[in-house]
Amino acid sequence: MTGGYNTVSMGTGRNEFHPKKARPDLEHYIKEAGQGTLKQIGGAKNVDEAVIGNFMAARFNKQANLPGFVPMIDEGLLWKPAISVEGACGSGGLALMSGIKSVLAETADVVLSLGVEVQNTVKAIYGADILAGAGWYKNRKNGHAYFFPGQFSERAGAYYEKYGYDRARAGMKRWFRNAMENARLDETAQEHHNKTPDLDALYDKLKPNGAAFVDNLSVLDCSKVSDGASAIAICSEEGLKKIGISKKDAVEVIGFGQVVRDITSDPTDLTELETIKKAAHYALKDAGITVDQLGTVETHDCFSIAGVLATEALGLAARGEGADYVAAGNTARDGAMPMNTTGGLIGWGHPTGATGVHQAVTIWQQLTGKAGKAQIKMLDDRPYGMTINMGGDDVTVVAIVYKRG
């Protein structure tokens, strides 16, 4: 993969965002992200096919048939194959997998993979109903008005009960602080403009309040409503030669895991992300490496508790010790396993269909030294990165392992 590009992740937190003023539309984000990658790979003439990951444009924007927007990016893409894929918040990961499989099938040498979502088009409570489609909608009437915060509030509550409230909140607080501090280093991040001087004090002040929101999470534990798009080129070795890009400016995909669980069934254990665990371990096995060889991870922290649970799913921490692992600073940008180095979903933003592609762009930037102010030190004996993109409540998961070119 090479040529990654992110638009700004737009929403509350950005200085230029105003809910009552006109904002960029779906077409704008698709075009900006697509052209941003095309400029790096020699133009549309080098692209064999394209794929768009998106969750709910049909409801947020009343627009379907997204493949038809690909030629709008550049007239050089006219008459070339294009598809769209959907797996809720995991749609971006599916867009990456679609491109990877086309290259492996030798039906394409260069695939333009793009993810997009524009969801600041409705009030938050109506958006919550749209986003509930990422779960089993027949359970909607039994869930919280804010359906997905309610789902992960239940996970947080189960974790508090089993392992201790104070321990859990300490880890979740550090996850929040890491997200904000990392986002401040990336100019495209939704929380880039965050200037709160004492993030820990802010987190401690805003405690969970079921009367105002959900029982076990505050709004600081949640990713925000975001608009944005990300794109990257997925190439064979011949494709890299065609576009004239050196392997040192690309990342090699060396393993992946793509799995789903039954959306109509409840999780086996609320304190475990079982699908992430399976996908991540399949990806590591496919790559032939262990988790200790990873230099950085981008994981799907739609909520802070999901970040904590991901450390356990990966095997970085034992069951019930993920919060302690995070609280000790291990997932900070200078920690033992830097995670979500541009802010993740809580800090950078969560334009749902774009998130999986954004994660790949971040790993590409870090592994090739293109992350700017957000750059971390990559160790020679740990040249690998991983992305974990989750759709719904641990339902659709794509995990990919990358290596420095």
Residue 165: what pLDDT? 98
364 and 388 fall within a common domain: yes
- In order of 47, 100, 111, 233, the CA distances from 108 in angstroms are 8, 9, 7, 11
| 205 three-state secondary structure | helix
C-alpha span between 247 and 1 (Å, rounded) = 9
Residue 12: what residue type?
T
Identify the CA nearest to 342 among candidates 300, 391, 375, 387: 375
Residue 269: what pLDDT? 98
- In order of 22, 27, 33, 145, the CA distances from 63 in angstroms are 18, 10, 18, 25
Query: What pTM, to 2 d.p., does this model score?
Result: 0.98
Structural domain boundaries enclosing 336: 136-223+250-404
- Asked, for residue 33, whether it belongs to a domain, the answer is yes
pLDDT of residue 336 exceeding 90:
yes
Helix (H) or strand (E) holding 117: strand 110-118
For the record, the structure tokens of 193 come out as: 């403009």
100 and 181 fall within a common domain: no
- Asked, for residue 308, whether it belongs to a domain, the answer is yes
Task: Dump pLDDT digits (tens) for 96-136.
Answer: 999 999 999 999 999 999 999 999 999 989 999 999 999 99
Q: Total structural domains in the chain?
A: 2
- Asked, for residue 128, whether it belongs to a domain, the answer is no
Residue 252: what residue type?
E
**Percent of the chain at pLDDT exceeding 70:** 100
Residue 158: what pLDDT? 98
pLDDT of residue 405 exceeding 90:
no
| 142 three-state secondary structure | helix
Angle at 25 between CA 223 and CA 399, to 5 degrees: 40
Among the ranges given (27-31, 140-144, 287-291), the one the predictor scored with the smallest mean pLDDT: 140-144
C-alpha span between 316 and 314 (Å, rounded) = 6
**Percent of the chain at pLDDT exceeding 90:** 98
- Asked, for residue 343, whether it belongs to a domain, the answer is yes
Task: Dump pLDDT digits (tens) for 229-257.
Answer: 999 999 999 999 999 999 999 999 999 99
| 13 three-state secondary structure | coil
pLDDT of residue 44 exceeding 90:
yes
Identify the CA nearest to 63 among candidates 18, 112, 28: 28
Residue 278 sits in a domain whose CATH number is 3.40.47.10
175 and 237 fall within a common domain: no
68 and 185 fall within a common domain: no
C-alpha span between 22 and 177 (Å, rounded) = 31
Beta strand 110-118 with 49-53: parallel, antiparallel or unpaired? parallel
35 and 113 fall within a common domain: yes
